[in-house]
Amino acid sequence: MKKLQVLYITAFFAACLVPSLGMAVTKQEASSENRRLAEFPELKKENEINTRWLPEAGEYFQEHFAFRNELVTANALLNGKIFGVSTADGVIQGTDNWLYYKDSLEDYLGEELLSERSLFNIAHTLAMMQETLNEKGVQFLFTVAPNKNSLYGENMPYYDSLKVSSDKNLVNLQKYLRQEQVSYGDLYEILSEEKEVLYHKRDSHWNNKGAAVAAETLLSSLKKEHVSYKEEPYTIKTDFTGDLDEMLYPLAMTPEEEVYYDRQTTFAYVGEVVSNFDPKITTVNPVKEGSLVMFRDSFGNALLPFMADAYSSAYFSRGVPYQMSEVDEKNADTVIVERAERFLPEMAQSPPIMEGPECQVNVTEEDTVPAGAGAVQCEIQGNLEKITGCIEEKYLDTDSRIYIRLNHDKIYEAFPMDVSTEDGKTDSSGFCLYLDRSLLAADGNQIEILTGNKDSARIIGGLTL
């Protein structure tokens, strides 16, 4: 009996030591969680003792212990298959083997929705981009890739189906897109009318057939000649592994079906491309016409071949904020902004890097407010001067525009934006203006901040540069 107890205790401690000792003999594994893992801490930082060495070492061990992926997978399988719950922070375990991205949960439940001003900020920023591009003869189109649970929410688990409201950011935004006359390709309407499921079960994105439907919608909205894939033959292979599946079950992923069209594309990549998720991709197509710049996110991975095949040259960028100078550099005649539905709140906080348009606005001098704007800051970004700040809420209506007058002369419109506050919330009264630094006087500049409508405005603050 005593020998059994000793054996049991020995086995217990050996099992406890395996993750630690195994680090010395096993190869370090990459994380499946789409984030950077902790690095081993240094005893000294900036010639001083690192007082956080122990907690940092603990974090390192937690993320690097031997057989981590095997144990993570085993734990996920136990909880997912038996209890129907997810062990990955970013993944929701649905029914019938469906997985959902947790970042879409608040919008699905109708929680923490964007304010009316935030919705205006997005739509008006897009309208400003569109107007500037149209003046250069460039077509513009905005589109939103719907969340998977917006289209196929029937497999959401019961504990994540207690909706607070039926409102959604995308639905609410469309009112302001119409008000601001933004060219919009409505993918939700098109995809929701399809009888066939066009998203992967275990990935957060559409499949290739869904991407083909989306691409045809966008190209038709632009009146761009293109190939319709509705009747094109295709092959189905069970060889696709989803991003959510990899996050949840890194060593036990379940391949699912993917559609592969038989038709051969005619475009070619320029330079080395690792995958369609590369941050910047350029393509050429000698048998097509037109030049496209597409600002996109991961939904653009499957879209890219269909869009590249329709243009003589195309440039796809995942960079945020959008660098509008790239439109001129690529001599584009068409610009598309594609954003996932779950990223709409981020759009309100990320105005493009683009010079603010000069405006003709009547300034009402007698209604001047000396300190209606706060946190005004200026910083140099290349050949541009970036001016940011916030307006006191009482000086803003939902659709108020924000202007900056330079040296009591020319007036430029700033992008309205949401800004993060110290308490972790967002303030929808922010603004951002990019000015060509050649417009600034060498001996100092007077900046006046104005709010109003497209015809008139009043001064509510200022500063001297």
Strand, helix or coil for residue 55: helix
367-390 tens-digit pLDDT? 788 788 888 999 999 999 999 999
Indicate whether 109 belongs to any domain.
no
Q: Please say if the pLDDT value at position 184 is more than 60.
A: yes
Helices and strands of the chain, counted as H and E runs: 13, 23
Does residue 255 share a domain with residue 138? Answer: yes
Does residue 265 share a domain with residue 158? Answer: yes
Q: Please say if the pLDDT value at position 457 is more than 50.
A: yes
In sign, the C-alpha dihedral spanning 38, 40, 46, 52 is positive
Does residue 135 share a domain with residue 26? Answer: no
- Residue 353 is given by DSSP the state B
More confident residue, 65 or 423: 423
Position 163 scores a pLDDT of 83
Indicate whether 103 belongs to any domain.
no
Indicate whether 105 belongs to any domain.
no
Over the chain, what is the mean pLDDT?
88
Mean pLDDT of 51-66: 62
Q: What is the DSSP string of 286-349?
A: TT---EEEEE--TTHHHHHHHHHTTSSEEEEE--SS-BTHHHHHTT-SEEEEEEEGGGHHHHTT
- Residue 236 is given by DSSP the state E
Predicted model pTM: 0.84
161 band by pLDDT with thresholds 50, 70 and 90: low
Does residue 303 share a domain with residue 196? Answer: yes
Burial group, residue 56, by CB count within 10 angstroms (0-12, 13-18, 19+): middle
Name 461's bridge partners: 449
Indicate whether 100 belongs to any domain.
no
Contact of 433 with 415, CB cutoff 8 Å: yes
Position 284 scores a pLDDT of 99
DSSP strand pairing (234-240 vs 256-261):
antiparallel
Position 62 scores a pLDDT of 62
Does residue 142 share a domain with residue 66? Answer: no
More confident residue, 14 or 339: 339
253 band by pLDDT with thresholds 50, 70 and 90: confident
Distances (CA, A) of 179 to 72, 77, 117, 261, 430: 49, 49, 13, 39, 21
Q: How far apart are CA 291 and CA 322, in angstroms?
A: 17
Q: Please say if the pLDDT value at position 87 is more than 50.
A: no
Indicate whether 255 belongs to any domain.
yes
Position 4 scores a pLDDT of 63
Position 40 scores a pLDDT of 66
More confident residue, 50 or 301: 301
Contacts of 73 (CB under 8 A, 6+ apart): 249, 250, 251, 252
Mean pLDDT of 141-152: 98
Q: How far apart are CA 32 and CA 37, in angstroms?
A: 10
Cis peptide before 321 (omega within 30 of 0): yes
Does residue 125 share a domain with residue 32? Answer: no
Contacts of 157 (CB under 8 A, 6+ apart): 84, 85, 92, 93, 94, 95
Number of independent structural domains in the chain = 3
- Structure token pair of residue 136: 């250069």
Q: How far apart are CA 367 and CA 395, in angstroms?
A: 11
Q: Please say if the pLDDT value at position 395 is more than 90.
A: yes
CA neighbor of 203 nearest in space, from 152, 278, 279: 152
Indicate whether 126 belongs to any domain.
yes
Q: Please say if the pLDDT value at position 250 is more than 90.
A: no
Distance of CA 235 to the CA centre of its chain: 31
Q: Please say if the pLDDT value at position 120 is more than 90.
A: yes
Position 86 scores a pLDDT of 44
Does residue 248 share a domain with residue 226? Answer: yes
Q: Which domain holds residue 384?
A: 358-464
Position 79 scores a pLDDT of 47
Contacts of 117 (CB under 8 A, 6+ apart): 396, 398, 416, 428, 429
Does residue 310 share a domain with residue 168? Answer: yes
> Out of 97-106, 124-133, 142-151, 203-212, which region has the weakest mean confidence (pLDDT)?
97-106
Burial group, residue 339, by CB count within 10 angstroms (0-12, 13-18, 19+): buried
Does residue 412 share a domain with residue 389? Answer: yes
Position 16 scores a pLDDT of 53
Does residue 173 share a domain with residue 52? Answer: no
> Out of 1-5, 275-279, 386-390, which region has the weakest mean confidence (pLDDT)?
1-5
Q: How far apart are CA 373 and CA 460, in angstroms?
A: 6
Last residue of a domain, one of 347, 374, 406: 347
Position 228 scores a pLDDT of 95
Position 69 scores a pLDDT of 54
Does residue 238 share a domain with residue 139? Answer: yes
